[in-house]
Chain A
Amino acid sequence: MSKKLKFLVGESLKRKVKTKWFLVANILILIVILCLFNIDSIIKIFGGDFDENQIIYVNDQSNITYENLKNQNENYTKLLDDSEEVFELKKTTKSSDQIFEDKKNKDAWYLMIISDAQNVIKAKLISNGYINSYDFAQINNIINSAKQSIALSLSNIDPAELAQISASVDIERVVLDETKKGEEESTQMIMSTVFPFIILPFFILSLFLVQMVGAEVNDEKTTRGMEIIISSVSPKVHFFSKVIASNLFVLIQGALLVVFVVLGLISRMLIGGTSITDIPSAAGVDISGMINSILSSDIVNDLIYIIPLVIVLMLITFLAYSLLAGILASMTTNIEDFQQLQTPIMIISLIGYYLAIMAGVFEGSLFIKILAFFPFISAILAPSLLVLGQIGIFEFIIAIAIMVIIVFLLIKFGLKIYKVGILNYSSKNLWKKMFKALRG
């Protein structure tokens, strides 16, 4: 690396890192990550409690349902793990108004059961606020199970026969595709939900990268400092200095995010004395359940090769993004023009991001598989499909190879455009000039 290139990279990096916004943004990110990892402790500070059971006051006017309901709830509770919300049933003869008069019961539910000639029992569930669909589905199951049990016992069926009817069906699962393990079915579904959140930082960093390169090149162009710079160093050195500096910045920012996550884990252990696998379920999403099932599945073993491959693809894509941003920035004369030019590329990436989220839903879609090889989208989509088992390592390596070719082409042809573009201050016949530059 030449002395001037080293200097330009250092200066460019210094201008990005030694800014107030970099410091402020990272402090905010750290605070957000720490809060997310300790969300249950924070909620407890403000009076909330994740461990509290959901109290349900049951006014059983049918006089035959409560005990059955209690049995069904106990059976249901046994199926839950420690992190899931448990229903605690309390028998009452009070009216709902009387129950909710007591401020302690503001979060409780009130379930009124009455006899019904046609449907055995009828239920009315009253609450102060909304009940999430997951909890409602559970209480609905419990009530229905109780009702079936009552109905069967009222039909004078032989107890042995009743037990036979009530017993659940034993279903044997057979998956014909040898590459797919049945026990990993839930893990794959979980990963299809989780992975887009993991790659969100990549998506944000790539946006960041493009903006940074564009802003810096345009700043030097609009101030005409570019003429002095290019009279001292070649456009090639200048171009690579911007690309290297912005990629180093993204690596630094990425490393900081990893450090913040580690700090989040440590803070969780220090504050709550619990690990990441003990995060309670929230809004119906069983986080610790997800983590436990991922950790116990074979996918952990696969991560040994998945992670390095994904990192390689992401780094090459970052490189391609920065090269493209530099080329586009050289063609424009101000940051507004640059924003317009880079918008289609960012939209394509955004489509990739949404496709990655939907990849689990549209399993086996040939269209999505083809897009996984598409440059710039591949870094987002291919890892998702790899984790979901929709593409294999071979296909993933092809996606990497395509990105390497794109990087090579961007350097080969982009440099020609950059050399002409950075000293061009007119948007007149811009594309003509660029195509002419490409022809050399």
Chain B
Amino acid sequence: MLKVENITKYYDDFLAVDHLSFEVKPGEIFGLLGVNGAGKTTTFRMIIGLLEPTSGKVTLDGQKIDYSVTDNIGFLTEERSLLTKLTVKEQALYYGVLKGMTKEKILERLDELLEKFGISNYKDKKIKELSKGNQQKIQFITAILNKPKLLILDEPFSGLDPFNVEMFKKQITEMAKEGSMIIFSSHRMEHVELFCKKLVILKNGHDVLSGNLADIKKEYRKKNIMIKGDVDLEKIKKIPGVISVLKNGLEYEVKIDALDRAKDVFKAISKNDITKFSVEEPSLNEIFIAKVGETYE
């Protein structure tokens, strides 16, 4: 289990991360979210041992993270960390040996992963000759080459088309099922919602929201009502507690400030010709905007 206990990081007088705590158990996919500069990279760097926290500690299976355990960690950086002058095979061997693997094992695993991602023919190609999407695949393959116990994925879907995103999702889910702990950061909230059961949202180094995604959504007071049918928009807008009404294709999305308001809305339109009335949880994106005060770009 990965345990992040009350870590704080100062750069001179600048507070980058403030008393952050969370746990990731084997098989869990954990979301670490925040806008640029929120403290995600600093947190990742403290987790993999690149940075020493000013206070607090990070342990993996009870052991402090140092170079005796880093062979069990996989890391995919947000910006491509590829040695572009090397071939795919050369880079895999380079990073693989540094992760304590034997050359035979690296080549065996590389062949398996290249096959899985449909890029076996790129094995002897120089990385700089590959497309952006294929470079991202190589970066991902390199990160999971050592079948890490702890996998840190910082924006793994960057530069990928929907088909490849699915491929990545499948692999990440598979690894979680095999018992890997995965920490995940993405600009795409739908991916975070799909993958992560637990998450932390950071703002200026502070933890503004954390816990189980289902609980977070449940506890979030604002709800959305999806209505299909003949609706008097002006009438709904006048109901106390209604924040906004938007037409979304054939449906209307009514945002209310609390679940109790749903019955007032229903009462107002119950005599109309309605084919759908559904109270739904808000999206993670909405919660993020509400908590952080800005969009996750």
Contacts and interface: CB of A to CB of B under 8 A. Distances in A.
Most chain A beta-carbon contacts within 10 A, residue among B75, B77, B83, B95 = B83
B288 to A, nearest CB: 26
B80 A223 contact: yes
B50 A224 contact: no
Given A223-B80, A224-B81, A231 B142 contact: no
B67 interface: yes
Interface in A1-27: 4, 7-8, 11
Interface residues of B, number: 26
A228 B85 CA distance: 16
A224 B80 contact: yes
Given A223-B84, A231-B48, A11 B94 contact: yes
Interface in B79-95: 79-85, 94-95
Contact of B99 (A11, A225, A230, A232): A232
From DSSP, what is the main secondary structure of chain B's interface residues? loop
Query: Of B50, B77, B98, which is in contact with the most chain A CB atoms at under 10 Å from its CB?
Result: B98
A227 interface: yes
Contacts of B75: 227-228, 231
B82 to A, nearest CB: 6
B41 to A, nearest CB: 10
Interface string A207-219: 0000000000001
Contacts of B213: none
B77 A230 contact: no
Interface string B48-67: 11110000000000000001
A234 interface: yes
A7 B142 contact: no
What interface size band does chain A fall in?
A: 20 to 34
Contacts, number: 56
A376 to B, nearest CB: 31
Contact of A234 (B67, B80, B84, B97): B67
Contact of A231 (B73, B79, B85, B100): B73
B67 to A, nearest CB: 6
A7 B50 contact: no
B98 A233 contact: yes
B23 interface: no
Nearest to A226: B81
Nearest to B80: A224
B197 to A, nearest CB: 26
A286 interface: no
Contact of A233 (B67, B73, B80): B67
A229 interface: yes
A7 B81 contact: no
A232 B67 CA distance: 7
What 7 A-B pairs come out closest when comparing CB atoms?
A232-B98, A224-B81, A231-B48, A225-B83, A228-B81, A224-B79, A225-B81
Interface of B: 12, 45, 48-51, 67, 70-71, 73, 75, 77, 79-85, 94-95, 97-100, 142
25 contacts: A4-B97, A4-B98, A7-B97, A7-B98, A8-B98, A11-B94, A223-B80, A223-B82, A223-B84, A224-B77, A224-B79, A224-B80, A227-B75, A227-B81, A228-B95, A228-B98, A229-B98, A231-B70, A232-B67, A232-B71, A232-B95, A232-B98, A233-B67, A233-B98, A423-B50
Given A219-B83, A224-B81, A233-B67, 20 more contacts: A4-B98, A4-B100, A7-B98, A11-B94, A219-B85, A224-B77, A224-B79, A224-B82, A226-B81, A227-B75, A227-B77, A228-B75, A229-B95, A231-B70, A231-B73, A232-B67, A232-B98, A233-B98, A423-B51, A436-B12
